[in-house]
Structure 1
Amino acid sequence: MLRQIICGTLLVVATSSANSIVGVSPEDQHLYNPTIIDGIQYWHCLNDSSIRLTYDQINDNYCDCPDGSDEPGTNACPDTKFYCTNKGHFSNYIDGFKVNDGVCDYDYCCDGTDEIDGLCQNKCGEIHQQYIEYKEGVDKFMETALKNKEKYLQIAKGRKDQLISKQRKEQNQLSLLKKQWEGLQLELENNQLQAELEQEEPSVYQALSDKFNDLNQKLQVNKDSVNSNNNNIETLEQILRTLSNNYNPNFNDPAVKESINKFKQYISNKQQHVDKRDIFEETQNVVDKLQETAKSLTYGGEIVVPTLTNTIHYYFQLFTNTFLKSQQPKVSHFSNNELSGQIDQLEKQIKTLANKLKDTTTDLNTNAGPNDILRAYDTINKKIAGYHYRINLLNSIYQDDILIGRFKEYKDDKVYFDYGSRCWNGPQRSGDVEFVCGKGPDIVSVSEPQKCHYHFIIQGESWCNVLTEEEVRGNFKIDYDKL
């Protein structure tokens, strides 16, 4: 009996007006115009015209069409949408299965048309007034937020400009230091080259000094040996001469007599004595003269086949010495040791500055979000659930003294951090930061969706953008306590 009453009521609703099918928007009402054949009204399923229904089968709470198009105002068919007029507010659609479920879904149908007449009051006027107040608040907030956002954008731009200026300054300083290094290096090489050019070629005596020393030593040894032998001969001759002069001929000693006779024969046949010391002196004089002559002669060294580099160097020096004699090489005011010390010092400065430039360039090339907005913020602090969190968006995140992670990258509207302190019996900590529009900067939530991985939500004006009417409507929530 109740089903018959409901169906009768629905039939009256469906047929009361050819242009007013419940659950259908005004724009789609024409899709439900009947076809009259022999005075009878018919209608075809929207997605299958081969299925023909009588007009009173629309919204009869029975699903006849596979696409459910015959039941726009009931919950008989799955995956359908019910149109709510919501006069005085904004029209909307509600899922078909929520129609006539006994719940007043004012978020979708503030006029209550999704339920049986009388179950839900029309609240569109009150809800729309809430929306107007909400929109005014949103507009007021957005006006201030966008001004603050512009300030942060200017801060970000200023800090990036400072980085660019710092990079250029370090590049110029590095270039200057390298030029200074090159100048000192060239000066040192010139000093060394000048010293080589001014160095005298070795003399023959210098080249043969070892051999001259050896010859002089051998001459002295031979001289000493000859002198010793001469002294021994003179001593022996004196002994024999004494024996010969004092010999007693009456003493009949054939051996003595024979020795005396041979000595006398030796003396008579002995040539006039030649002093061998004179020979040695003459020999030494010859050697001394040879040494003096050798000192005045230069020694060219070994014959070397010149390399291409040496050949170019030789002809370059020949050219400069021949045609550029008036141009004297630059005289250094520093010794080679002093120049080497300055070069070492410059090399240390160059290395230090090169590392600083590398860090600056890396910082400058880091993706810091849209318009480099992350650069505008210093450390964001907040105590949540007994923990003190410190977030530096381009550096690190700390929970008290525990490192959650260091900056990894900005990607897909989030900042990722990794290589934090290792969890007890777990992996290294890591985290990510998500941003929403709101008054800030403020850490609004911290969660741990995975073991030792932390998820932060930060709200701030920098992430606010001009909202469309649809976005404002979508964000609006009804305050049911005021209904």
Structure 2
Amino acid sequence: MHCHIIIAVILWSVGIESRKLRGISLSYKRFYRERKSFLCIDGSKMIPFEQVNDDYCDCADGSDEPGTSACPNGRFHCANLGFRPHYIPSSRVNDGICDCCDASDEYNSHTRCQNSCRNLGRRERAEVEGQMRTLDEGLRLKQQHIEEGVSLWREKQAQLRDLQRLSEDLQTKVEEHRRSRGEVERLAQQETRAPEAEDNGVRSQNRTAIGISHTLDGNNENSIAVDEVQAELALAQGEARGVSEDEAVALLGGNQQVDLSRFQQTLWSSLRAGDSVKIKGSRAAPGGRMDGDPDIKAAVSAAEKDRADLRKIEDAYENVNLEIRELTEKLSIDYGTEKEFLFLGSLCLQLKVHEYTYTLCPFNQVTQKSSAGTEVSLGKWGTWAGSPENQYCQMRYESGELCWQGPTRNTMVTLTCGTETALRSVREPSKCQYVMDLQTPAGCHPALRPRGVHSEL
């Protein structure tokens, strides 16, 4: 009889102990170590320890009933060994629904719950391992993008420098050709001012001088050099030979090279006289009796060629400057601290959602095209819009087309970590305000490394 009483007391004590400690996490067990009295965790009240988990709420913060549903603001701790421990509202304790995977919340109900923590833990660990593999591969690919981005950035800078040098050279050539044309216009004005009796002769001579100067100017530099004189002229009389270097220098007034105005004052005089030198293959001096209309036609042809050359150089100059502006604009964009996002600038990504096809061209624009073929702008590249800790996690595209009875369309693109670069989703949470998910290795960083599943033991 005495032995039975002792056993009953022991069993009752064990029951009381388990009842009192149910629903408490390891970090809070220190508040429940005193077995004579219990101080509410908020310090508001002291109660006998027997009133802990007695299914009656004594503490305002609900801390005396961690294992029952007596307190409306209480919470029950699921240990969930093998999975992730967490809290549930105490109102869910013994409500006939299994909320804890270890079934600890339904200890006094008719519901039979299976302990699924091990399976859940195994499944989550597999997911975490998959995320780890994705992150590791993403970081590896991101490093490739960084190396390629840095190399491409340097190439673009070198290209910009080359374009700037070419622009300077073309500008010099444009100015030289314009000066040459100015000289032609000056001669034309001189023709206009010439006396009527000499009108035809002066005009013919000026046109001929211009034509001959272009004939001799083999490299189109708007000047005549010694080697060009030697290549195009021959002695007019005597032995049939070309002009020596010394003779060429003398014909150019002692200069190695002369422009159009100096040509008329030096070599042109000798060519007109026709008694010392002539153009190879010609029978008489230019401007003499035998040149007539052919020389005039040659002068006109040379002037037209000069105008065409000037137009070509001006067009090339404008095109180069346009390339410089476009390249400068591209180089002014923030492609990340390590140029990891530079490769995105050459891509346009599409995703079809119902009857719409969405196209994202990073650092350019976002568009929406309907099945009927109508395309609207959802915004142009604005800026990075992430948090101060990670500003490169979001991209803002602004000032798209105006909505009917609404605001202008805007798009926010969130970058997530992945092994491929692709659009994953498009939503319109509010009118004409779009949200996109862009998955890319460039969105991976070590801080995204997931934490492994662990249990409190």
> Is the TM value for this pair above 0.5?
yes
Q: Deviations over 1:7-61 (max 9, x none)?
A: xxxx97883269x6112123432321226xxxxx222223326x32111111222
Q: 1:43 aligns with which of 38, 42, 46?
A: 38
Q: Any conservation in 1 of the 2:174–2:313 contact (CA below 8 Å)?
A: no
Q: 1:387 aligns with which of 356, 365, 370?
A: 356
Q: Deviations over 1:345-387 (max 9, x none)?
A: 7776555434433322322232335744443342212322022
Q: Any conservation in 1 of the 2:418–2:444 contact (CA below 8 Å)?
A: yes
CA distance in 2, matches of 1:123, 1:461: 41
Q: 1:65 aligns with which of 32, 42, 59?
A: 59
Structure-2 change in CA distance of 1:62 and 1:117 (3 Å): closer
- 2:101 matched to 1:110? yes
- For residues 48-127 of structure 1, the aligned pairs below 5 Å read 48=43, 51-105=45-99, 109-117=100-108, 119=110, 121=112, 123-124=114-115, 126-127=116-117
Structure-2 change in CA distance of 1:81 and 1:12 (3 Å): farther
Question: Secondary structure of 2:106's partner?
Answer: coil
CA distance in 2, matches of 1:174, 1:395: 24
- For residues 69-468 of structure 1, the aligned pairs below 5 Å read 69-105=63-99, 109-117=100-108, 119=110, 121=112, 123-124=114-115, 126-140=116-130, 142-144=132-134, 146-155=136-145, 157-175=147-165, 177-178=167-168, 181=171, 331-333=257-259, 352-369=319-336, 371-377=338-344, 378-400=347-369, 401=373, 402-405=375-378, 406-412=380-386, 413-438=393-418, 440-465=420-445, 468=449
Question: Secondary structure of 2:152's partner?
Answer: helix
CA distance in 1, matches of 2:178, 2:439: 62
Q: Deviations over 1:405-427 (max 9, x none)?
A: 32222211222223333444544
CA distance in 1, matches of 2:177, 2:360: 52
Question: Secondary structure of 2:21's partner?
Answer: coil
CA distance in 2, matches of 1:438, 1:151: 10
Partner residue in 1 for 2:17:
16
Q: What amino acid is the match of 1:168?
A: A
Q: Any conservation in 1 of the 2:66–2:76 contact (CA below 8 Å)?
A: yes
CA distance in 2, matches of 1:60, 1:76: 9
Moved more, 168-177 or 448-457: 168-177
Q: Which runs of 5+ in 1 are unaligned?
A: 1-10, 36-40, 193-327, 475-483
Q: Any conservation in 2 of the 1:170–1:353 contact (CA below 8 Å)?
A: no
Question: Secondary structure of 1:56's partner?
Answer: helix
CA distance in 1, matches of 2:135, 2:34: 54
Q: What amino acid is the match of 1:44?
A: L
Report the CA distance between 1:151 and its aligned residue: 2.7
CA distance in 1, matches of 2:68, 2:167: 83
Report the CA distance between 1:138 and its aligned residue: 4.2
Report the CA distance between 1:168 and its aligned residue: 2.5
Q: Any conservation in 1 of the 2:174–2:310 contact (CA below 8 Å)?
A: yes
CA distance in 2, matches of 1:472, 1:333: 85
Structure-2 change in CA distance of 1:473 and 1:459 (3 Å): farther
Query: TM (normalized to structure 2)?
Result: 0.57
Structure-2 change in CA distance of 1:346 and 1:417 (3 Å): same
Moved more, 391-400 or 83-92: 83-92
Partner residue in 1 for 2:451:
470
Query: Larger Rg: 1 or 2?
Result: 1
Query: TM (normalized to structure 1)?
Result: 0.54
Structure-2 change in CA distance of 1:457 and 1:173 (3 Å): closer
Q: Any conservation in 2 of the 1:156–1:371 contact (CA below 8 Å)?
A: yes
Q: Percent identity?
A: 25
Q: Any conservation in 1 of the 2:383–2:396 contact (CA below 8 Å)?
A: yes
Partner residue in 2 for 1:26:
26
Structure-2 change in CA distance of 1:133 and 1:448 (3 Å): closer
CA distance in 2, matches of 1:177, 1:330: 28
CA distance in 2, matches of 1:188, 1:436: 57
Q: Deviations over 1:104-141 (max 9, x none)?
A: 11xxx2111122335455644x4423432442354246
Question: Secondary structure of 2:367's partner?
Answer: strand
Structure-2 change in CA distance of 1:178 and 1:419 (3 Å): same
Structure-2 change in CA distance of 1:16 and 1:137 (3 Å): closer
CA distance in 2, matches of 1:468, 1:462: 15
